[in-house]
Amino acid sequence: MKFLLPLFVMIALVGSCSFDTSGVDQNNSNNTNNTNNVSPCEGEAPLADLQAGVCLGALKVCDATDVAWVEPDYTLIAGYEAVEVTCDGTD
């Protein structure tokens, strides 16, 4: 939970990003923590909150500690910039 506040601050500051979904498995729920089939992470991963630019199609991931869907690490998305520096118009 202590990592969520900085993530929400970053999301509020950035407001948008984009994601090339051509190499993304849309059926991957990142649901590796659900061993009892009762966790809140059951089923398909919902879309991440940021869906603009290179984040389009990004999915939430299952948090192993809280066993809940959480925002992905947007910095792992190719082309994502927390602060726009390239002025490429994609995030």
> Do 64 and 28 meet the contact criterion of CB atoms below 8 Å apart?
no
Instruction: For residue 8, give the 3-state DSSP assignment.
Output: helix
pTM of the model as a whole: 0.53
Determine which helix (DSSP H) or strand (DSSP E) holds 61, and give its type and residue range: strand 61-63
Find the length of the chain.
91
Q: Which residues contact 5 (CB under 8 A, 6 or more apart)?
A: none
Residue among 64, 1, 79 nearest 30 (CA): 64
- The per-residue pLDDT for range 20-79, each reduced to its tens digit, is 444 444 444 444 544 555 556 888 999 999 998 999 999 999 997 888 999 999 999 999
